[in-house]
Amino acid sequence: MYTRMQEESPSRRTLLTILRTYFLTGLVVTAPIFITFYLVLWFVEILDNWFTPWIPLQYRPESYLPIGLPGTGLVLALVVLTIIGGLTANLLGRTLLSFSDRVIRQMPVVGSVYTALKQIFQTAMREDDQFSQVALIEYPRRGLNAIAFVTKTADIRVNEATGEEMISVFLPTTPNPTSGFLLFVPKAEIKILDMTVEEGARLVISAGLADKESSSS
């Protein structure tokens, strides 16, 4: 009996290994899909809770349908933001926007938060490329290299203070590339990589697990 158990144990381990591989493969395939849908539904629900109460009851979809229609708040938010954008595009709208901007900036504490948030949104909504190239820099010490994104040539005052041409780079953290460090690196010490910014971001988010084939698929 002991010999038979010894003979069966490798096959059982093999079966468990196969089942474990199938489970992890299914998790890798389905988890991003479910998480994405969950985040989208969560965002739509937040907008519905914010904007739907502003719609008169007789104009809401649930007044004509047996069930509520999600996304009503999202549609209203898009319409409102588009109208606000159109109003601020003319002279009167720009004047009012400039006046309100000055008033908010002069408020203690609120002005600092408002200015920081405005700069973040303006940078995020820029249509031009925020990062031009992906590079390797030696960080945090000599002999170790880290992925960084080249932003632009450093401010001339930085170059004058260091006595050499510096390049400003953004060093992201893993796996959250939205946080990181602004570094000024000598141009001669930057190694430009043959990859797109999107491929570099995938490499950072995956903690180095993403390869060129998975990035291009």
Residues 177 and 160: their CA atoms lie apart, in Å, by 30
User: CB–CB of 203/193 below 8 Å?
Assistant: no
CA trace torsion 142, 144, 148, 150 (10° rounding):
30
User: CB–CB of 168/151 below 8 Å?
Assistant: yes
Q: Counting every residue, how long is the chain?
A: 217
pLDDT in tens, 64-117: 777 767 788 888 888 888 888 887 777 777 787 788 888 888 888 888 888 877
How high is the pLDDT of residue 147?
Answer: 92
Q: Is the dihedral of CA 25, 26, 28, 29 positive or negative?
A: positive
Closest CA to 49 of 72, 78, 80: 72
Closest CA to 185 of 167, 160, 164, 159: 167
User: CB–CB of 182/167 below 8 Å?
Assistant: no
pLDDT in tens, the chain (217 residues): 444 444 456 666 688 888 888 888 888 888 888 888 898 888 888 888 888 888 787 777 777 777 767 788 888 888 888 888 887 777 777 787 788 888 888 888 888 888 877 776 766 666 555 677 899 999 988 889 999 999 877 778 888 888 888 989 999 988 887 788 989 999 889 999 998 888 888 888 888 776 655 555 5
User: CB–CB of 179/120 below 8 Å?
Assistant: no
Q: What separation in angstroms does the CA of 44 have from each of 69, 76, 116?
A: 11, 11, 26
Q: Output the six-digit token pair for 193.
A: 């990589």
Residues 168 and 170: their CA atoms lie apart, in Å, by 7
The ranges assigned to domains in the chain are: 133-216
Q: What separation in angstroms does the CA of 16 have from each of 9, 20, 21?
A: 10, 6, 8
